[in-house]
Structure 1
């Protein structure tokens, strides 16, 4: 026989559902209140932006369209330069980040004080945006490709070192302990136990960082660090909007092709 719920059980069930609904409503209300308070504090009216959108479309249509593709041959080297920035910046920082990641991980560095110092250093690098790095380096080295490359390496190093360290920490210690118990040296544990398990995460984070750096390489040109970005900024400043639109379209196509290629490569490797 089916046991019907008692009135007490029904009331408890109702009270629990009502409590959950109240928590959900309270949470949504708090989020909305924070959003409204933020707009009010910043003195930003979202309806003003919506009202100005037709004017933006009109300005775009009158000044940017149609795009001018006459100088394609002169822009292709800049596209290649932007891609090479990302390639060199990503893979230089990937090998440096592997070294720092090993120093940051509890699995590979038992010295707590050294781990803390390395983490502070990497946090310093990671929390400075790539555009800030580029702006600072321009004052030191002047406008040029070296600035863009160094800015990418420094910014990517901070991101990858932490990502690598967290991936190494997630590797189970059982296999490593078995190697240590069998008398394996530190290097043997590293090369035969940890690194083979870490390679998929290393590839995944590195390819993901490469995608980010393709976009960052273009943005770096805005501060005089070379690549296609500097020509986009130059054309906009000289009111050559038709050429600027063509460069923006080239940039979008380059980013989409990179994402597609990296995604296929990641699936094939991993």
Structure 2
């Protein structure tokens, strides 16, 4: 029995064109950037030798001093996620076609949050440092700005995907806008809201560890400081702590997802 499903001639030609275009783009980028894969491969032994000599073993002498910064880092992620969830929920309602029929407002807000989410955390942090100076407020604000953009779009898309039958039934029975919102939209939206919010928290934990590199507070500050001072052993300890934080966070959020699934 022949299980082969033949592609249409037009589809096969299109696939070949796309593959050649991608290959051409790769070749152009390598040529334009003057990358040498041979140099990269030849440099691997030197990198490994430097890493094992300088970064290992980690220096655990000041481990207790990192605990307050770990708490700060997690605190930034928690605060940013809480605030972003509230703001993004309101924006998501204003963007969704189910909950806002005024298209110009939807387009304007969607464009606004697109700008927010497409500027990376690290750039927001670098910009905000010039306004507020070095400190935790910079990290929290940078996380909020990107997370509001990310969650606003995600929430709106999830609201658009819910079944409109119940909403139409409520509207046909004379329900008000807020009755439709609280009895029709939100109950169907809650599972997606939980999943997106947990995912945003994971991202914020990772980002909050990196924002310290631009002076936005948290444990990331110590990575930059120790590497600049050639304290590679301590830098490795901090990196290990960061990896541990991320893994624990993912374990907790995955456990929550499995319980509510």
* Bucket of the pairwise TM-score, normalised by the shorter protein: over 0.9
Secondary structure at the aligned position of 2:230 is classed as: coil
* 2-structure distance, mates of 1:227, 1:155: 18
Cα pair distance change 1:18/1:109, threshold 3 Å? closer
Shift of the alpha carbon at 1:19?
7.6
Aligned: 1:72 with 2:34: no
The one of 168, 174, 177 aligned to 2:168: 177
CA shift for structure 1 position 47: 2.4
Q: 1:17 to 1:103 in 2, by over 3 A?
A: closer
Q: Following the alignment from structure 1 to structure 2, what is the Cα–Cα distance between the partners of residues 173 and 202? A: 18
Q: How does 1:93-112 map to 2 (within 5 A)?
A: 93-112=84-103
Point out the structure with max Rg over C-alpha: 1
Shift of 1:25: 4.8
Q: Find 1:81's aligned residue among 72, 97, 108.
A: 72
1:18 Cα offset (Å): 8.0
- Which of 161, 173, 180 aligns to 2:152? It is 161
Q: CA–CA distance in 2 between the matches of 1:76 and 1:231? A: 12
**From 178, 181, 188, the counterpart of 1:190:** 181
Match of 1:90 among 76, 81, 92: 81
1:44 counterpart SS class: coil
User: Which residue is equivalent to 1:245?
Assistant: 236
Q: Distance in 2 between matches of 1:17 and 1:54?
A: 49
Match of 1:116 in 2: 107
Residue by residue over 1:145-191, the C-alpha shift from the partner in whole angstroms, topping out at 9 and shown as x without a partner, is: 11111111111000000000111111121110010001111000000
Counting only pairs closer than 5 Å after superposition, residues 19-34 of structure 1 correspond to structure 2 as: 24-34=15-25
Q: CA-atom RMSD, angstroms?
A: 1.9
Cα distance between partner residues in 2 of 1:104 and 1:187: 16
Q: CA deviation at 1:17?
A: 8.0
TM-score by length of 2: 0.93
Per the TM alignment, residue 23 of structure 1 is displaced from its structure 2 partner at its CA by 5.6
Match of 2:34 in 1: 43
Question: Residue 266 and residue 25 in structure 1: after superposition, are their counterparts in 2 closer, same or farther (change >3 A)?
Answer: same
2:127 maps to what in 1? Answer: 136
Report whether the alignment pairs 1:150 with 2:141: yes
TM-score by length of 1: 0.90
Q: 1:10: which partner in 2? A: none
Q: Cα offset for 1:32?
A: 2.1
Give the 3-state SS of the residue equivalent to 1:106 in structure 2.
coil
* CA shift for structure 1 position 126: 1.4
Match of 1:7?
none
Relative distance call for 1:192 and 1:16 in structure 2 (3 A) is closer
Count of residues paired in the alignment: 258
Q: Gaps spanning 5+ residues in structure 1: where?
A: 1-12
